[in-house]
Structure 1
Amino acid sequence: MNKLRVLSGGATQGLVKNLAPAFTAATGLRIEGEFGAVGAMAEKLRKGTAADVIILTSALVATLAAEKLVSSASVRDIGLVETALAVRAGDPLVAAKDAASLREALRAADAIFVPDTKASTAGIHVAKVLEQLGIAREVEKRLRIFPNGATAMRHLAESDARRPIGCTQSTEIIATDAVALSGSLPPGCALATLYTAAVTTRTLAAPAAEGLIDLLTAAQAGEARARAGFVPSRSM
């Protein structure tokens, strides 16, 4: 075996990529990661996709632990990730200090780039916020929905729309070239999601899997987590 297989939400892709060289140097194993909407990744694990480590929302990891698909003893929190706004690099930043200004920012956009509104953490939240703001039907035809936030942000970067905007998790925005983090969602519309790692019960590489989780959660990796967009949770 020369690889460690990871199934993960897109929110942690940048962090895993940044720490992969240190993991490979220490273990000789390369990381083979699949990143996407958390609901889709959980279903892949349930359907038998080979994985040694999963990194998903805390709630989903708890469910998978109850289903005996991950080891409860291995569960470790990585940090919180905020859902945020994005614009193309060079475009004016969009500020949303309250629900009213967020409503106007979304109504002013001629294209709104978001992840899967049924399977991804940020996408599900965006759909709820649009309903909450009373503009879901108004902006429906302007939504540009992609399988995950990273893909949505790449398409935002390439958009030829006049005033496009994106909304996904801050880590996915930070990790994408040619887009800029424009700010968190305002109070009443905000979401901070706790991401958690665990070793799968089917792995044949438990020590290496535990080593990767140690690296992702180590105090020494605090700066890397912050650069990637993670915020420490109260339990950390």
Structure 2
Amino acid sequence: MKTLNILSGGAAQGLVRSLAPAFKAETGLGIAGDFGAVGAMADRLRAGVPTDVVILTSALIATLADEGLAVRSSIADLGRVETALAVRAGDPAAQAEDAASLRTALLAADAIFVPDTEASTAGIHVAKVLAQLGITDVVADRLKIFPNGATAMRHLAESRDRRPIGCTQSTEIISTPGVKLSGTLPPGCGLATMYTAAVATQASAAPQAQRLIGLLTSTDASELRSQAGFVSGPMS
């Protein structure tokens, strides 16, 4: 065995990649697997895809533990991730201090890059916010929907639209070259999601899986978590 298999929400991709060299130096294992919409990743685990570590929302990890697919005693929180706005690196920041200014910013965009609005945490929330702001139908033809936030942000970075904007989890924005974080969603429209790791019940390398979780959640990695966009502390 040369790799540890992981299924993870896209929110954790940057953090996992930043710790991969240290993990390989200690265990000799690389990290392989998929990062994407949390619902899709959970379904892949349920379908029997070989998996050692799962990193998803805390609610979904709890459900997988109830289903016998995640080891309950291994569960550990990485931190909260906020849903945020993104613009191309050279564009002016989008201002959204309140719901009204968020509505204005979204209506001013000629393309809105978002993750899966049915299977991803941020995408589902974006759909709710658009409905809350009463602009779902108005912006429907401007939505550029991708399987996950990281892919959406890569396409935003390459966009040739006049005034594009993106909305996904802050970690996916921070880890994508060519885009920049333009602030979290304003009060009343925001979402902070706790991400949690666990060893898969059918893990073929459970000790190494537990070690990766230890590295991801360690005090030594607190600065890396912060840089990646994770916020520590209890849910508000």
For Structure 1 versus Structure 2, the TM-score category normalised by the shorter chain is over 0.9
Match of 2:116 in 1: 116
Question: 1:78, 1:121 → 2: CA distance?
Answer: 16
8 Å CA contact 1:81, 1:171 repeated in 2: yes
TM-score by length of 1: 0.99
Paired amino acid for 1:221? A
SS of the residue 2:68 aligns to = coil
Match of 2:217 in 1: 217
8 Å CA contact 1:110, 1:163 repeated in 2: yes
Question: 2:18, 2:172 → 1: CA distance?
Answer: 13
Match of 1:153 in 2: 153
Establish whether residue 142 from structure 1 lines up as the match of residue 162 from structure 2. no
SS of the residue 2:165 aligns to = strand
Match of 1:71 in 2: 71
For residues 189-214 of structure 1, what are the alpha-carbon distances to aligned partners after superposition, in whole Å with 9 as ceiling and x for unaligned? 00000000000110121110000000
Match of 1:32 in 2: 32
- Equivalences, count: 235
Match of 2:54 in 1: 54
For residues 2-36 of structure 1, what are the alpha-carbon distances to aligned partners after superposition, in whole Å with 9 as ceiling and x for unaligned? 11000000000000000000000000011113100
TM-score by length of 2: 0.99
Paired amino acid for 1:30? G
Question: 2:233, 2:136 → 1: CA distance?
Answer: 31
Give the superposed CA RMSD: 0.7
Ranges of 4+ aligned residues in structure 1 off by more than 4 Å = none
What is the aligned-residue identity percentage? 69
Return 5+ residue gaps in structure 1 as ranges.
none
SS of the residue 2:5 aligns to = strand
Question: 2:129, 2:188 → 1: CA distance?
Answer: 9
Establish whether residue 194 from structure 1 lines up as the match of residue 194 from structure 2. yes
Paired amino acid for 1:101? S
Question: 1:231, 1:100 → 2: CA distance?
Answer: 26
Match of 2:91 in 1: 91
Return 5+ residue gaps in structure 2 as ranges.
none
